[in-house]
Every structure is written in structure tokens, then in C-alpha cells.
Chains A and B, each alone.
Chain A
Amino acid sequence: MNKLNNDIQKKNILEILNKFKTGIGLLILVIVLSFMSPYFLTIPNILNIIRQVSIIAIVSFGMTMVILTGGIDLSVGSMLAFSGAISAGMMVNSGLNVFLAIFIGLAAGTALGFFNGLAVAKAKLPAFIVTLAMMTIARGFTLIYTNGRPISGFNETFRFFGAGYLGRIPIPVVIMFMFLVIIYILLKKTPFGRYIYAIGGNETATKLSGINTEKIKVAVYALNGFLAAVSGIILTSRLNSAQPMSGEGYELDAIAAVVLGGTSLSGGSGTVIGTIVGALIIAVLNNGLNLLNVSSFYQLVAKGAVILLAVFLDRKSQQQ
């Protein structure tokens, strides 16, 4: 009986460790790096990391929801660039008011995401193909709209969203934190969030339970487009320029953050808290390797290796 109790205790400890494994991974990384570089654990550097992570994190939040439904979105980088360019163009070329321009940029991203959602949910096309096509189309739109040249020259109001501060905290971080809280609540506390998990777990059963699964999926893709647009506008503001090729490869960084954060690629389980930790792991790793003067070529290899290792460990722990 004693042995049994020990086993149960051991199992509980393992379960807790398992639940927080991504966080533990991040902690270990931080401890190791703070010994290796004296500058690493300073407030300016930490703020720098969080500001760097905020743009990709906002994209990853949307990606988390898409992946939770069992889908994928490869077009986030292109939607991000398109929305940034539209906002920039509306201000610089069309002379619109900052907030109106931002609104149009957000609407553009949402519309592209909405289209992805229609194609996936209503036309029942595979998400991988639909969003692969959208990745090219939205990039094409961006190049057409910008003539392939950056748009720059914004006023102070617009610059505030990417380069401003609230006290010592960069505005992108504030916005990221706001969306983290909103989406956490959305997923955990609202029927919409519950249906997202249910669809990822078993779409047919959810539909037969009287849920309009198509509507939920369209909304998730549209929301993902909206969040990509938010990131696009922050990035444009921070760089003081809308680059037609910005956001390239972001889809892979976002998917990596989601997967590192423990969300199942087949849908139905995962959290947005995991995703932010996943995004932080990638950012901390990049930052640490920079501080240690490791060449960016080697950094790519390290990033890939960490993703592989994390997924491998995750698989191992699930088998036990």
C-alpha cells in the first residue's frame, strides 16, 4: 500500500512537472544565460526581449486559436505585411487620419482572414492549401499596392504604437499583454472558446451537438487575420516604414511558438499562455546567442534544434 501511495505521489509530481514543462524549460534557459552573460539579466535587456517578442506573440495568439480548431494558417506573414502597407498608404498617400488608416488596415487583415475561413469552413478546402494560396496572394497584393517600395514618413501619433512607452514599458508590450488577457479569457471563459476546443477535439460531435461549427471556424480565421493586422501596424510603426516584404517567415515562427507552447497540432488541446512561453523561449534563445556573439547562421541551427528537442520531449512525456 505504501508503494502504491509513493507511486501516486510520484505520478502527481510528474504530472505537475509535465504541465509546466515549457515554463521550466524557459526558466532553465534564463538561468544558464544569466551565468554566461552578465548583461543578460538586466532590465533594459529583458524589456528588449519582450518588445522583440511582442509582434510575433500577437501573431502566435491567433495561430493558437487556428491550430486549436485543427487548422493551420500559413498566410499570417503576408496578411501582416498587407495590413501594414494599407495603413501606411492610407496615411502617407491618401492623407487619411491615423485612426481611420489603422481601422482600414485592421479591416483589410480581417477580410483576408475571413476569406481564409470561408474557404476552409464552407468550401471545405484543406487549410494548408487555402492559406498557402493566401500567403502568395496577399504578398502579391502588398507588392502591387506599394509598387514594391517601402512607404514611410509617419506622424508622431502613429509612431507611438510601435516606438512609444507607457512608463518604462514599450507600447507593443502593452498591446501584446492586452491581447494575451483577452484571448485567454475568450478561450477559457466564453462559449466561443469552448467551441474552439470542442471543434478541435471532435468536429462532427460538436456539429451534431447543435453548434454552428462553420461560423466558429470562419470567426477564428478572421480573428487570426485581425491579429496579424495588429502586428503589421505595430511593426510598421516601430520601423517607421511599411516594408513590402515584411513578415516573411513569421508563419513558421508563430507555428513554432504554438507547438513549443504545448498545443497539439491536431487540435483540441493547448493554451495561449503556453504559446507566449514558447515565443519567449525562441526570443530568449536568439537574444542570448546574440549576447554570446554567436553568428546568426548558427542561431538558425540552434532554433531548429530546440524546436525538435521540445517536440521530442513532449512526445516522450505523453507516451508515459
Chain B
Amino acid sequence: MAKETVLEMKNITKTFPGVKALDKVDFSLKKGEVHALVGENGAGKSTLMKVLNGIHPRDEGKIILKGEPVEFENTKEAQKAGLAIIHQELELIPYLNVAENIFLGREDRNGIFINYQKLYQKTEEVLDMLGVDIDPKAQIKDLNIGSQQMVEIAKAVSQNADILVMDEPTSSLTNQEIDILFELIARLKEQEIAIVYISHRLEEVFEICDRVTVLRDGQFVGEVETSNTNEDQLIKMMVGRTIEDRFPEMNFNPTDEILKIENLTVPDEINSASFSLKKGEILGIAGLMGSGRTELAKAIFGVFKEKSGDIYYRGKKIEIKSPADAINNGIYYLSENRKEEGLVLGLSVANNISVSVLKSMLKANTFIDSNAENNLARKYIEDLKIKTPSEKQLVKNLSGGNQQKVVISKLLSTKPEVVIFDEPTRGIDVGAKREIYNLMQELIDDGVAVILISSELPEVLNLSNRIIVMHEKKIMGELDAAEADQEAVMKLATGRRNQ
């Protein structure tokens, strides 16, 4: 049952000044197929999709859509031809309801008024077809991200899209929401809709995709059926070498207690959390989305004004009223949102790295010593292998993994003794992930204490020596990482206490 090919991209080449972003890339898509597009950050996945959608004109190559060669000038034309992209950042209007969003600009009317009866009826039809249970009258701002994504997909389907591009659709979804999304994808397949699935999570690729196309450094590496390959082989194709294991073997060396938290409470965020942390160890914090992991970290880091409970640092009680207090004490928090909370995208790599220690490199006690600043940046660019033309490059021009390395450089520049990593490997590629794991090993070798918050259970299990699990703003229990498995963590994370 060979299915009909709906889209063929051949020999696509795209050059930006100084960079060959795509070099003779091929890509094809069949009706009712889910086709994964994988590769490290900067491999050219997004550029390929932007060429397809007419956002970037291509230099060379052909695009054949349903048998016809096409050349889209902009996304509107692409949309008309049945192409839709579901972006990582959703593009819905928060104060309009589901129905109004889905049919925005295409509302049925009674004279000059919107025919709401028909609007809701048509919305119900679309949602029913997709098997999605969302109230058409609910405001978008009241929906969780998973449901918002469903609305976005419903909108695309209502516009008769038959090719959907999903860019990292699961990056901010809970496991439960991911399951619902996958059911929806299965139903889209039944409707003969073809899906391009871009993801860093290889296990998802194997779960729902039929074929995989791998890109590396703008070049086409290969196209394989998921049933004929495995994770190791894909990773090898992506990075051009084998990575023996996803996780390195960690060596922990816990010594003195450095941080002790007692009954830390933040109204509506954290309910009486207590734990202790030793130098040279990695304490994992697991829990479902919204369980209070990030809030706990932020409470220690002095983000919340209103809080109670005690924080002891090297046995001495300290007051942390602001992030500045925390950093002065040697505690640094790496945010899970690097774009929103980690970087100033419009400033250079050097300016971002130096911002926390700027006052320690002054000339005449007043002026920034730009030599010292650039040297600091160059040191970390080399140490962490940040891919950037120079330290003067604006951070917004770097890929996700390299941006993350810039934030980590900023953190390291303060020479912290306690580091809290919140989702440090989210949305970055396999190679960069491995580098970050190695860096954690170096940190604990130097006697730094590390707290690791991650939604990826294997990451927490493999990289920490102890794990605390949170559920509904409370710490439910502590596990020894060597003995714990995913099941034990999930039991606590869903609120069932081990007795």
C-alpha cells in the first residue's frame, strides 16, 4: 500500500551571508504519514521549513506539491495551498474564545454581525472530528498549553490544511498532554493529513513517526523508516559519530553539608519544604509540571518577596531577599526559560556572560574594562566550545544549545558554590546535552553542590545521587537514585506516598 507522495523538496540550497544553511537537501512526504525531521540545533530543520513556507526564498532546488511545482512568496500563499505550521510559540489571541480564534477572519455573518450560532456549531464539528474535548466558548487564556495547541491544530485543519508542520510540539506539554496529542496525531493520519514532526525527543520519533529524515550542518544525511532503525543509529547520523551512552557514568563525592532548607513556605507556591544539600553531590528534583519544582528553586534564589522558613548556608542562617543576595552568597539559579529569563537577546555574547560580574572588572573603579570583559567571554567560548563568530556576536543569532552555554558561562563566571539547574537541556541537541552533563561532573569534582530539576526522568535518575520528588507544592519524599526507578518516582510525583 504505497501511499501517494504529496510533497517533494529536491536539491534545496539556501545560503545566508557567510553560511550555507542548506546544501542540496531532499525531503519527501506521503499522504497520511508522520515524517520526523531531526538533527542537532543549527542542522537546518527550521530553515528547510521556512523555505517550504515561503519565508525564505531558496537559492536552488525544486518544491513539488501535489504534482505541481510551487514557489510561495509568503506564508499566506503556502496556507492557501494547504500548508500549516504549528509553532513552538503559539499564536492565539488570549482574550478571545476557542471558536473566535479558530475562525478568526473567516466568521459567518448575519449582515454586519457575527453569526455566533453557526460559529459554535462549526467549531464543535471540527473539534469532534479531531476527538478533542474543549469548550468552544472557553477563553484561550484559561486553557493550558496542551489544549491551546489542540486549538491551533483545529484552526489549521479548519483551513483545510493537509500538510501540518509541528515544531517541537511537546516541549512544554505534560506527559498526559503528550498522550492526548499523540492520539490526535493518529486521528489526523486517518484523515490522510501528512505531518512533518520536528523534535529533539527521539523516543517520540519512534513512538509516532513512520519515516525520519536526518540533517546535519545543512546537509541531507539520510532518510530511514523508523521500523528499520534505532536510537543509537539515529544519534550517530545526527552527530556524525557514536555517542556510547546518552548519560555519562557520574562520580559523586558528597562531603560537608552546604545548604539546608527548613520549612520554606511561599504562599500559593511552596508548602513547607525542607531538605539539605552536600558539596560534591547532585540532588535531583523530580515532579510533574506545576508541582512546584521551579518555584522551590526560585524561592531559594530570592525571587519571591513573601516567604517564611529558614535557609542555612554552611551552617549559618542567611537571609536571601533578592537574586543579588543569593549570588553574593554563592548560589546561582539557571532558569528553565533561557530566552525569557536567562538572556538579553539584543546584547552580545560578551555582554551577556559578564553581566553578573561586571562590577569586579572595572578600570579606575568606574569604567568597564572591555579587555577583561572580552577575555572572560573568550575563555568561556573556548572552554564550553560555544559556536559563535566572535564574542561580539549578538546572542539572538546563536542556536539554542549555544545560547544555553552562554547562560551557563554567566553562571560559572560568578564562581558559585551551589548551582541550581532548571531544565538545563530543554530544547538542545544531543551533543550539547552531553557537554552539559560533563560540565556537571566537573562542577561536583570541584566541590560545588548541584541541584538538578528536570522533566526528563531518565536525566534525573542517571545524573543525581539523591532525588526529591514534589507533588502539589510539597516535597513528597526522597529517593536514593541508585535504587530508584521511574515507577518509584512517578508514584511519589502523582501523590502516592511510599510506606
Contacts and interface: CB of A to CB of B under 8 A. Distances in A.
B322 A212 contact: yes
B344 A198 contact: yes
A208 B335 contact: yes
Contact of B17 (A11, A189, A191, A208): A11
A264 B299 CA distance: 34
Nearest to A269: B346
B340 A205 contact: yes
Contact of A194 (B335, B346, B358): B358
B356 to A, nearest CB: 5
B254 interface: no
A206 B322 CA distance: 12
B345 interface: yes
B233 to A, nearest CB: 35
Interface in A178-193: 185, 189-191
Interface stretch (B3-11, B323-331, B461-469): B323-331
Interface stretch (B24-32, B94-102, B362-370, B479-487): B362-370
Contacts of B90: none
Contacts of B342: 205, 208
B356 A209 contact: yes
B137 interface: no
Contacts of A190: 366-368
A190 B410 CA distance: 18
A209 B303 CA distance: 11
Nearest to B395: A201
Contacts of A198: 344, 347, 351, 355
A95 interface: no
A97 interface: no
Contacts of B333: 208
A188 to B, nearest CB: 9
B359 interface: yes
A210 B324 contact: yes
Given A209-B323, A210-B327, A197 B340 contact: no
Given A198-B347, A205-B340, A205-B343, A212 B355 contact: no
Contacts of B335: 205, 208
A156 interface: no
A204 B341 contact: yes
B18 interface: yes
B323 A207 contact: yes
A268 B355 contact: no
The size class of the interface chain B forms with chain A is 20 to 34
Interface string A1-39: 000100110010000000000000000000000000000
A139 B362 CA distance: 41
A212 B326 CA distance: 12
B347 A191 contact: no
A25 B335 CA distance: 43
Interface residues of A, number: 25
Interface in A200-233: 201-202, 204-212
A195 B322 CA distance: 16
Interface in A145-189: 185, 189
B74 interface: no
A209 B414 CA distance: 10
B270 to A, nearest CB: 18
A208 B358 CA distance: 14
Given A211-B324, A212-B324, A7 B17 contact: yes
Chain A contact residues, majority secondary structure: helix
Contacts of B343: 202, 205
B313 interface: no
A209 B345 CA distance: 14
Counting chain B CB atoms within 10 Å of each CB, the highest count among A197, A205, A212 belongs to A205
Nearest to B407: A205
A11 B18 CA distance: 11
B165 to A, nearest CB: 23
Contacts of B328: 210
B301 interface: yes
B242 interface: no
Contact of B362 (A7, A191, A202): A191
Counting chain A CB atoms within 10 Å of each CB, the highest count among B18, B328, B358, B414 belongs to B358
B15 interface: yes
Contact of A205 (B326, B341, B358, B359): B341
A201 B345 contact: yes
A209 B301 CA distance: 11
Interface string B301-322: 1010000000000000000001
Contacts of B323: 207-210
B197 to A, nearest CB: 31
Nearest to A203: B344
A122 to B, nearest CB: 11
B346 A201 contact: yes
A209 B355 contact: yes
A202 B367 contact: no
A206 B355 contact: yes
Interface in B283-304: 301, 303
B368 A194 contact: yes
Contacts of A207: 322-323
Contacts of B17: 4, 7-8, 11
A186 to B, nearest CB: 10
Please give me the 3 A-B residue pairs with the lowest Cβ-Cβ distance, nearest first: A210-B327, A201-B344, A191-B358
Interface of B: 15, 17-18, 301, 303, 322-324, 326-328, 333, 335, 340-347, 351, 355-356, 358-359, 362, 366-368, 410, 414
25 contacts: A4-B15, A7-B17, A8-B17, A8-B18, A189-B367, A190-B367, A190-B368, A191-B362, A191-B368, A194-B351, A194-B358, A197-B344, A197-B351, A198-B344, A201-B344, A201-B347, A202-B341, A202-B345, A208-B323, A208-B333, A208-B342, A209-B327, A209-B355, A210-B328, A269-B346
